[in-house]
Amino acid sequence: MRQSNSTQRFQTHHGSGMSGNFTDTISRPFLKSPARSCIVFSFIFVLLLVGALAWTRFLETTVIPGDSAEKPLQTAKTSNANPPQSSQIQKKPSKQIEIPLNCSAYNLTRSCPSSYPTSFDSEVDPDPPYPSTCPEYFRWIHEDLRPWAHTGITRGMVERAKRTANFRLVILKGKAYVETFEKGFQTRDVFTLWGILQLLRRYPGKMPDLEMMFDCVDWPVVLKSQHSGPNATTPPPLFRYCGNDATLDIVFPDWSYWGWAEINIKPWEHLLKDLKEGNKRKKWLDREPYAYWKGNPTVAETRQDLLKCNVSDKEDWNARLFAQDWAKESQEGYKQSDLASQCIHRYKIYIEGSAWSVSEKYILACDSVSLIVKPHYYDFFMRGLNPVQHYWPIREDDKCRSIKFAVDWGNIHKQKAQNIGKAASEFIQEDIKMDNVYDYMFHLLIAYAKLLRFKPSRSRDAVELCTESMACEAEALAKKFMIDSLVKGPSSTIPCTMPPPYDPPSFHATLRRKENSLKQVESWEKYYWENRNKS
């Protein structure tokens, strides 16, 4: 059974509120259930970035000769090469076909309708815009699936992923079936499934048949160390929201893109617009010249350590840090979750809690300089961020001095600091707008399905899931968020074009660039402190 009590122990909540920050949830003790270690939950978010972390995986896998499935291409540079004339072709979007949700019809039969188009009708747009190339971070899809590039994925491997999975999703001829093993925490599993159903509405007839195992708990579990070496078994393919450099879990967009009902965070498409508007309210120069953070410090030691950097009578590290009052916010219904009005500091700190945090995208979207304390986890887009270009890196082992230096630097180099804040907001507004989130899911699932070496099928325990069965039966805020994030009909544009895999030299060069930026900042920081101490 479901150790649902254990899940309930979480007090999660995110906050929202605050100024900007988001928060995190919390969770406390990691409860382990004998049956599934993943019930551990706790959760919360917190997340992180990553970047450089990934290299070990690559190193390991690239030495394998004959990587035929993912032949390195010499095309690293083409990723941003838009096809010629794309600009002149970007004309009026063609008319979009809308297929409304009809709950009265669903209520009559309680069965999923069969009237939704089953093909992606290219006649919708006789003159489609030339497809754009997907953002650079899509290249990590190739890396995430590399462990199966030579072997393919067998049914046995998928079954091995069941150990911790919350559900198995099967897609057959564009219809979705789910077999639930364990209810996810809050509505994260519900909104994850909802997101996949919306993907099916967006690209009917384009999704291949597949079976996938999904684990909704925060921490990655497929250890690289258990699947390396001469006699190692091929890892089980397991989808989840984040990974780190010690694991092989496949990262997938989290539930919050469709809404987080428990803490009143609306679907991303709408929130993104609010955030953009919110940024206009207070210009960077008029914002508080400090580094701000608000969150739950009890979830991780590193956060307790961060609190030592708070301003006091004796010391001012340029940090203004606040502990979130979860109980109070939850009573108030997260009214203050207006994330868009929280961008009032020039600098905002991001620090992981127990794993990656959903909050990172809200922090990055502020036009403020994100001060990111060295992260250990990544979600699907974080590997696309570069230190100094999109954020300022903060040392994990010397946080206060690192923050003090970052803020002093930015307050002197105002233009550069604003550029960093802007680059991050643009990345968030453009590279992870909803169209790209769907296209990421699309390309990931297509590439995954190509690796399957068996014919997907639906077990007796799998039930059909459709937009109507979910939305018509949902209640309250969950229902509202579903209706707000409903994909109205088949897309009138085709998905972006997947960039090629990195070839080893360009992959290493990318990692080295990041590493060098980190070192550069460390050396500036060292110089700053040496000179200050002298004077």
Interface with ligand NAG (CB under 6 A): 100, 102-105, 107, 229-231, 307, 310-311, 321-323, 472
> What is the closest distance, in whole angstroms, from the C-beta atom of residue 21 to ligand NAG in the complex?
13
> What is the closest distance, in whole angstroms, from the C-beta atom of residue 309 to ligand NAG in the complex?
9
Whole-number Å distance between alpha carbons of 397 and 340: 31
> What is the closest distance, in whole angstroms, from the C-beta atom of residue 321 to ligand NAG in the complex?
5
* H/E element, 142: helix 140-145
Whole-number Å distance between alpha carbons of 63 and 99: 49
Q: Which two tokens stand for residue 486?
A: 């409903």
Whole-number Å distance between alpha carbons of 490 and 488: 7
Give the three-class secondary structure for 227: helix
> What is the closest distance, in whole angstroms, from the C-beta atom of residue 436 to ligand NAG in the complex?
31
Whole-number Å distance between alpha carbons of 166 and 241: 13
Whole-number Å distance between alpha carbons of 7 and 45: 15
> What is the closest distance, in whole angstroms, from the C-beta atom of residue 526 to ligand NAG in the complex?
27
Whole-number Å distance between alpha carbons of 409 and 437: 34
By beta-carbon proximity to ligand NAG, the closer residue of 31 and 323 is 323
By beta-carbon proximity to ligand NAG, the closer residue of 324 and 402 is 324
By beta-carbon proximity to ligand NAG, the closer residue of 66 and 229 is 229
Give the three-class secondary structure for 240: strand
By beta-carbon proximity to ligand NAG, the closer residue of 85 and 104 is 104
> What is the closest distance, in whole angstroms, from the C-beta atom of residue 254 to ligand NAG in the complex?
27
Q: Assess contact for 215 and 255: CB atoms under 8 A.
A: no
Q: Which two tokens stand for residue 349?
A: 């700190």
3-state helix, strand, coil in the chain (%, to 5): 40, 10, 45
> What is the closest distance, in whole angstroms, from the C-beta atom of residue 397 to ligand NAG in the complex?
21
* Residue in the structure block whose two tokens are 């325990």: 461
Question: Residues for the chain: how many in total?
Answer: 535
By beta-carbon proximity to ligand NAG, the closer residue of 104 and 535 is 104
Shortest Cβ contact with ligand NAG: which residue? 105
3-class DSSP string for 21-83: CCCCCCCCCCCCCCCCHHHCCCCCCCCCCCHHHHHHHHHHHHCCCCCCCCCCCCCHHHHHCCC
> What is the closest distance, in whole angstroms, from the C-beta atom of residue 413 to ligand NAG in the complex?
26
Whole-number Å distance between alpha carbons of 235 and 238: 9
By beta-carbon proximity to ligand NAG, the closer residue of 126 and 230 is 230
From edge to edge, which strands make up the β-sheet containing 369-373?
Answer: 319-323, 288-295, 345-350, 369-373, 392-394
By beta-carbon proximity to ligand NAG, the closer residue of 242 and 470 is 470
* H/E element, 534: helix 504-534
* Residue in the structure block whose two tokens are 């030691």: 301
> What is the closest distance, in whole angstroms, from the C-beta atom of residue 225 to ligand NAG in the complex?
12
Whole-number Å distance between alpha carbons of 465 and 85: 41
Whole-number Å distance between alpha carbons of 141 and 67: 16
By beta-carbon proximity to ligand NAG, the closer residue of 78 and 304 is 304
Whole-number Å distance between alpha carbons of 33 and 35: 5
> What is the closest distance, in whole angstroms, from the C-beta atom of residue 247 to ligand NAG in the complex?
20
Strand partners, 320: 292
Q: Assess contact for 382 and 48: CB atoms under 8 A.
A: yes
> What is the closest distance, in whole angstroms, from the C-beta atom of residue 344 to ligand NAG in the complex?
16
Q: Assess contact for 258 and 485: CB atoms under 8 A.
A: yes
> What is the closest distance, in whole angstroms, from the C-beta atom of residue 294 to ligand NAG in the complex?
9
By beta-carbon proximity to ligand NAG, the closer residue of 45 and 292 is 292
